[in-house]
Amino acid sequence: MAETTKTKKAAPRAKGGGTKTCTVAGCKRAYRAKGLCFFHYKQFRRGELEGRPGRYDTCSKPDCKKKVVEHGLCQDHFEAWKKSRKKNQAAAAPA
């Protein structure tokens, strides 16, 4: 039987002619996407890159990492905001 050998894939080619570098401090790898090298872009997509939200914006409330739905808030915080707004409007109407 003939043996087949696997070849390793090369790292993705750099964009921008290899002149641009990753925007992460201390990284000298070539730019790949969104100003990041292939390694940091992969972390960005997983939401693991420090100082940057993941693929989507996160809720503006402290310590909440859920996906933004409307007005910079996640579904839970947005619903709470709507309830408090309705409550305030109802209280102000009779006055």
Confidence (pLDDT) at 75: 92
- The predicted structure's pLDDT at residue 78: 93
Task: Give the model confidence (pLDDT) of 5-58 as tens digits.
Answer: 777 777 666 665 667 888 888 888 888 888 888 888 888 877 777 776 556 677
pTM score: 0.43
Question: Checking phi first, is residue 35 left (phi over 0); if not, alpha (psi -120 to 50) or beta?
Answer: left
Q: Are 68 and 58 in contact (CB under 8 A)?
A: yes
